[in-house]
Amino acid sequence: MQRREFLQVSAAALAVGALRHSSPAQTAPAAARKLKVDAYSRHLQWLRTADEVAEAAVEMAYDGVDITVRPYPGHVDPEKVATDLPPFVNTIRKHGLQVVTITCPITDADSPNAERILQTASSLGIQHYWWGTFRYEQGKPEMEQLDALKPRVAKLAALNAKYKMTAMYHTYSGSGTIGSAIWDMLYVLKNFDPAQVGFHYDFGHMTNAGGNGTWAVNLRAAGPYIAGVSVKDSIFELNLPVEQGGPFTGNPSQLAGRGGGGPGGGGPPPAGAMPANPGAAPGAGRGSAGPAEAGGRGGRGRGGPGVSGGRGGGGQANPWRVRQVPLGEGMDDLPQLATILKEIGFEGSLEVQAEYPNGGAENAQDKITLPRAIVLGAMKRDLLALRAAFAPSGLL
C-alpha cells in the first residue's frame, strides 16, 4: 500500500471511530417542537371582552385562543373585522397568549367578507383559519361533485397565497359530509399546496367516522395536509325505551302501575334490568354530562350520526347516537393520536372543543347556567387530560 492510500484509509477509519464514539446529543435527531394548545373562544362567548376571554384562558392554563370571527354571539363580527379584530387579538396577546387561528364563515373565496377577513388576519400574523364545510348533493355522482370542487378550491388557494394564510377544512362525521372519509377531500386537495389548503382534523368526528382504528390510517394518509387538530370526546349510546330493550335510568316506583305504549311503560323493570347508560366508557357521565343528560345532544347537527338512517333495535330506526363527554372519558385514543402526530411531523394548531353539557358554554351561548368556576373547571380538566395522554410522546 502506498503512503497516500495508507493516509486516506487511516483518515476514513478515524472518522468512523469518531462517529461511533460520539455522544447521543451529537447524533440524536432533533426533538419535535412542543405543541401549544388553544382554547376555542366559541365556548367562551359568555365572556364578551378580550380581557375576560384572555383571563379565563390563562386561568385554565391554555397557551392561546382560537377567536370566533362570526356574527353575534361570535367575538368579532365579520362585518367589522378590520376595526374589531386587531384590538381583540392584541389584548389577548398582552396576556401572554398566542393567537394563530381564527374561526370564520369562509366556504369560498367569494364568501362575504372573505378577503377582508384574510387581509386583516394576515396583517396580525395569524396564519390559519377554519374553512368549510361542503356536503354531498343526493342523487348526483360523488366523484363528479368532488371534481366540481377543485376550481373553487383553486380560487381560495390563490387568495390564501396572496395573504400567506392556510385554510383548514374542518372535518365532520356523517354520510352527507364531504371529508368524513378523509380520502374524498384528500382527492380534491392532493394537487394543491398544503401551505394554502389543508385539514382541520376534528379527532372526535374522525373517531366516530373511522371506527375500529380506521381513523389512524386516514390520518397518516392525510399527514402532509393536516394543518390543525381539534380534540373532543364522545361515546355511542343506545337510545331505546325500556320496552324496546333499552336501559332503565329512572326510579322503579315511577313505572309501577303504568301501561305499555310509551317510553318507560310496561311496569317496573324486571330483576337484573340493564344499568343506566351501559354503553358508556369508564368514568363517562362526569358532572353535568351524566346519565340525566342522555336525552341531550346527539352530536352536531351536520356531524354525528344522530338517530336517523339505517335500522336496528328490533326493527326500530337506528337507535344509536353520539353523546359528547369530557375529554378522556369516551372513545378517543389520545395517546395514539399523539404518536401519529409525532410520526407525521405535525407542528400546526391544536385546540380543545368542549361540547359536552357545560351550562350552555358547549353551545356557544352568551350566557351560562352554571357557576363560572364549574364551566372553566370542566374545560381545564379537558386540558389536563390532553396533557396526560400526550405526555409520553413529548409533544406537550
pLDDT tens sequence across 102-112: 999 999 999 99
- pLDDT greater than 70 at residue 64: yes
Higher pLDDT, 70 or 279: 70
Mean of all residue pLDDT scores within the chain: 82
Which residues make up the CATH 3.20.20.150 domain(s) of the chain? 37-232+332-393
Identify whether the C-beta of residue 44 lies closer than 8 Å to the C-beta of residue 84.
no
Identify whether the C-beta of residue 219 lies closer than 8 Å to the C-beta of residue 344.
yes
pLDDT category at 298 given cuts 50, 70, 90 is very low
DSSP E strands in the chain: the ranges are 37-40, 64-68, 101-103, 128-131, 166-170, 197-202, 226-231, 233-238, 311-312, 316-317, 320-325, 349-352
Average pLDDT rounded to a whole number, residues 170-196: 96
Taking every pair of Cα atoms in the chain, the longest distance, rounded to a whole number of angstroms, is 108
Q: Which pLDDT tens digit goes with each residue over 115-141?
A: 999 999 999 999 999 998 999 999 999
Kindly give the pairing relationship between strand 311-312 and strand 316-317.
Answer: antiparallel
Average pLDDT rounded to a whole number, residues 79-98: 98
pLDDT category at 313 given cuts 50, 70, 90 is low
CA-to-CA distance for 369 and 374, rounded, in angstroms? 10
Average pLDDT rounded to a whole number, residues 90-99: 98
Q: Which pLDDT tens digit goes with each residue over 343-370?
A: 999 999 999 999 999 999 999 999 999 9
For cell 386540558, what's the residue?
383
**Which of 279, 385, 372 is closest to 328 using CA atoms?**
385
pLDDT category at 212 given cuts 50, 70, 90 is confident
- Tell me the whole-structure pTM to 2 decimals: 0.77
Total residues belonging to the chain: 396
pLDDT of residue 296: 35
- Per-residue burial over 292-325, b = 16 or more CB atoms within 10 Å of its CB, e = otherwise: ebbeebbbbeebbbbbeeeeebeeeeebbbbbbb
Q: Which pLDDT tens digit goes with each residue over 7-29?
A: 444 444 444 344 333 333 333 34
CA-to-CA distance for 276 and 310, rounded, in angstroms? 25
pLDDT-wise least confident of 85-89, 180-184, 282-286: 282-286
- Domain 37-232+332-393, what fold? TIM Barrel (3.20.20)
pLDDT category at 262 given cuts 50, 70, 90 is very low
Q: Which pLDDT tens digit goes with each residue over 229-256?
A: 999 999 999 887 767 666 666 665 554 4
Average pLDDT rounded to a whole number, residues 35-41: 98
For cell 353523546, what's the residue?
323
Identify whether the C-beta of residue 273 lies closer than 8 Å to the C-beta of residue 248.
yes
CA-to-CA distance for 356 and 283, rounded, in angstroms? 14
Residue 30's Cβ-count burial label (10 Å; 0-12, 13-18, 19+) is exposed
- pLDDT greater than 80 at residue 93: yes
**Which of 273, 225, 219, 216 is closest to 250 using CA atoms?**
273
pLDDT category at 193 given cuts 50, 70, 90 is very high
CA-to-CA distance for 323 and 298, rounded, in angstroms? 5
pLDDT category at 312 given cuts 50, 70, 90 is low
pLDDT of residue 240: 76
DSSP, collapsed to helix, strand or coil, labels residue 64 as strand
